[in-house]
Structure 1
Amino acid sequence: MPLGSLRPTPLVEQAVDRLREQITHGEWAVGTKLPGENQLAQILGVGRSTVREALRALAEAGLVRARQGAGVFVIATKPKESWSAELRQAAVADVYEVRMIVEVEAARLAAQRRTDEDLPVLGAALKARRAAGAGSTPDFVDADIALHAAVVGAAHNPVLTSLFTEFVPVLREGLIDLVELLDLRAGDPQHGDDGHALLVDSVVRGDAETAGHTMRDELTQTLARLRSL
């Protein structure tokens, strides 16, 4: 597949697509040194800055790597998957193990850092989870995740919040399956209410030790159920 001049816009995206095609279609095998920036710019009909941005994107995708003083070389013919894609494919139990690491510490931090503005958010999330007990399983799971998100948010750490947000799609799907498969809400539509009430109360009171233990106990129980499937 020969290279050729690009359309006027968007140049960087087009350059990335064209160069990626050369790699994924086998025109440039692993170990191949790419043409220099000047040559690529001339072939593609763009400036060197556009080529540089395109090569950076290819490097982030795990397709090429620059070697100091040697040039840019192909290191793979298949882009590496994003963190989100890996999470979607991971076993829910595996994700839960990481969730425990994240949320137990988040609960402790939330108890230490929660502000007056966090209190009504936590209270509303607990109330919404209880109200969702009368609804469908997906609605209940969504309310449960929203409560956990409120606790993580009260930790006021953007990295923890970002990590939890990445977990949500896998967690939601896995929890819906778990609740329905084990019929956890039979006779107890608000399954786990006592533990969640204690979690919110401990965060509100600033009791970091209880908040962490409560979160760990809840997640440990859920993880055990996941592993029993």
Structure 2
Amino acid sequence: MPQVRREPLAEQAAGLLLDRIRAGEWQLGQRLPGETTLAPQLGVGRSTVREAIRQLAGRGVLASRQGAGVFVTALDAREDWDLVLRRADIASVLEARIAIEAEAAALAAERRTPTELRAISRALAGRARGAESLEEHVDADMAFHRAVVVAAHNPLLVGLFDGFVPRVRQTMVEMLRLRADFDEDADHRFHRLLHEAIGARDTAAAADLSRHHLTSLKESIA
């Protein structure tokens, strides 16, 4: 069985434990052996095993239950969200936008308040004024879409959107630079129709418009 040979010991031990979990040695919900068993297997002290477990608990893989032991709560460590977004290609980003924004548009049509509808109207006017640069145009566009997501009254969707924005912004700038045939008038017409659907509380139309628009963007870069 492989053992830790170099520093940092706790990080190395955490890596070995994670490898064994990935390999199926312990199943989801199964209890790990105790520190006295793991320490000699890994070639480290019990305190290092405790630190390795703490690291994997922080990554969502393990959970300590007082009086019961340490249990497997995930079969792999979640990746850093920013790193995942940086690695994502344009098509993947647009697919994720479809999943988030089509539902948000439907919820916005159902739940929006007069104040939120006015905020969407202002954002629509902002993107209609034109911009001096591609980046400014994308920023105005993102402001419109965020106003729609906020009107959905779902804090998780807002959190996802806000975490997504830096990569979305970069992706949209890249995509628009690649598209010589981009029709700005047609694009703005979609945003106006989405605003109208939300104002009319037409949930089906709002979701369909959002999904169709983003799907069209994805297909244009295929």
On whether the aligned pair clears a TM of 0.5, the verdict is yes
Please say if 1:145 is aligned against 2:142: yes
CA RMSD of aligned residues (A): 3.8
Q: 2:219 aligns with which of 217, 220, 224?
A: 224
Q: How many residues align?
A: 199
Query: CA shift at 1:143, angstroms?
Result: 1.0
Percent of pairs with identical residues: 32
Please say if 1:170 is aligned against 2:167: yes
Please say if 1:134 is aligned against 2:125: no
In the alignment, the residues of structure 2 paired with residue 117 and residue 28 of structure 1 have an alpha-carbon distance, to the nearest angstrom, of 49
Helix, strand or coil: the match of 1:117? Answer: helix
Counterpart residue type for residue 101 of structure 2 = E
Counterpart residue type for residue 85 of structure 1 = L
In the alignment, the residues of structure 2 paired with residue 90 and residue 109 of structure 1 have an alpha-carbon distance, to the nearest angstrom, of 27
Kindly report which structure 2 residues correspond to 1:102-141, keeping only aligned pairs within 5 A, or say none.
102-131=100-129, 133-141=130-138
Please say if 1:194 is aligned against 2:189: yes
Where does the alignment leave 5 or more consecutive residues of structure 1 unmatched?
3-16, 45-50
- Name the counterpart of 1:7: none
Q: Check the 8 A contact 1:108/1:209 in 2, yes or no.
A: yes
Where does the alignment leave 5 or more consecutive residues of structure 2 unmatched?
26-31
- Name the counterpart of 1:154: 151
For residues 104-158 of structure 1, the C-alpha deviation after alignment (integer angstroms, 9 at most, x for no partner) is 1111110110012202211111111112x23200111111111111111101011
Q: Check the 8 A contact 1:126/1:147 in 2, yes or no.
A: yes
Q: Check the 8 A contact 1:125/1:147 in 2, yes or no.
A: yes
Counterpart residue type for residue 59 of structure 1 = A
Counterpart residue type for residue 160 of structure 2 = L
Query: CA shift at 1:191, angstroms?
Result: 6.0
Do the aligned partners of residues 202 and 66 (structure 1) sit closer, same or farther apart at CA in structure 2, a change above 3 Å counting? same
Q: Check the 8 A contact 1:110/1:154 in 2, yes or no.
A: yes
In the alignment, the residues of structure 2 paired with residue 212 and residue 168 of structure 1 have an alpha-carbon distance, to the nearest angstrom, of 20
- TM-score, normalized by length of structure 1? 0.69
- Name the counterpart of 2:28: none
- Name the counterpart of 1:5: none
For residues 166-218 of structure 1, the C-alpha deviation after alignment (integer angstroms, 9 at most, x for no partner) is 32222111110111121355xx6566111101111211221222212221221
